[in-house]
Chain A
Amino acid sequence: MKQQTGMTLIVKTITRLTVWLIILYGFYIILHGHLTPGGGFGGGVILALAFLNVLLAYGREFTGKWLKIPFLEKLESFSIILFLLVGISGILAGKLFLANFISKGHKYHLLSAGTIPVFNIIIGIKVAMSLFLVIWILSGLKLEEGEET
């Protein structure tokens, strides 16, 4: 029989049922950042909390296999370059740095407001990956300190 890590079966089942709903809610908050309260920061924290939920319920090994941590680190570093690239493409479009150069569209539509949804998505990815990676590294450090004592 395999060694059980993480919390009890009840917590694992509830997490398995709800974690995708939490992730969906995070994406909703990020994508609707220019229409309703919320945006990149709030939605990113919701995504990080969903991953943290899995980490608490299932333990470190399962989460490491499920999430592919090196890919998350690359995504975290790449998102800030993406932010700068969108800013510079404002210059290439003939306006200022970080200018809102895409057409604004109609009010209250999902695809509107130019570059604001793009920035929201980038910031959401950035915040989610950063907060989760900090928790990930801290949890690894804590485990090995526990082994020493």
Chain B
Amino acid sequence: MPIETWLTFVLGFMIIGSIVALEIKDILSSIISIGVVGLGVSVAFLFLQAPDLAIVQFLFEIFAIIILVKVFIKKDYHQEEPSKINKILVGVTVITLVAIFIFSISVFENIPPFGKPLMETSKYYLENGARDTGATNLVSAIILDYRAYDTLGEVTVLFTAILGALTVLRISTRKNKNKE
């Protein structure tokens, strides 16, 4: 079977999983559905021959599931109040989404075929990457040699985010201790 068929199957699986995660009442089942969607993303990356992304996606999904379960399992979030549905708003949203989908069909027809990128840069990387950098993993060669500035920015973003989280959360922890 061609790769597009498998991808369509996985994408449909993920769409069904997302709808289940939104609509189901039990919060634990909802978290598990989110995990199924993440697994679908990682399987899709595997089909698209990107094992690096698949590994990272799979591990982060485990990480997110552990955090979500640890946060939600002990508190009484299991009962969910039925929400009031505004029928006009739902109708307008559905009609808009269908209209966008119909108008964007012509865009999908113009996408380049799988494995044939339009950019000259990626062709250059594929042909000369191993010789220029000496690394046989081209993803590593691109993110740590050709695009090392991007990686520096990413590390800085991660550093700043962790710094902010640690500062804010540590202040609240200290306040709790002072109260006792």
Contacts and interface: CB of A to CB of B under 8 A. Distances in A.
Partners in one complex: yes
Interface of A: 29, 33-39, 41-42, 45-46, 48-49, 52, 56, 73, 76-77, 80, 83-84, 87, 98, 100, 104-105, 107-108, 112-116, 119-120, 123, 126-127, 130-131, 133-135, 137-142, 144-146, 148
A133 B118 CA distance: 42
Interface string B148-176: 11011001101100100110011011001
Interface of B: 51-52, 55-56, 59-60, 62-63, 66-67, 70-71, 74, 130, 133-137, 139-141, 143-145, 148-149, 151-152, 155-156, 158-159, 162, 165-166, 169-170, 172-173, 176-177
Contacts of B156: 80
Contacts of A29: 55
Nearest to A90: B148
Contacts of A37: 51-52, 55, 137, 139
A114 B173 contact: no
A120 B67 contact: no
Given A33-B140, A120-B144, A134-B162, A148 B176 contact: yes
B63 A116 contact: no
A35 B134 CA distance: 10
Contact of B140 (A104, A120, A142): A120
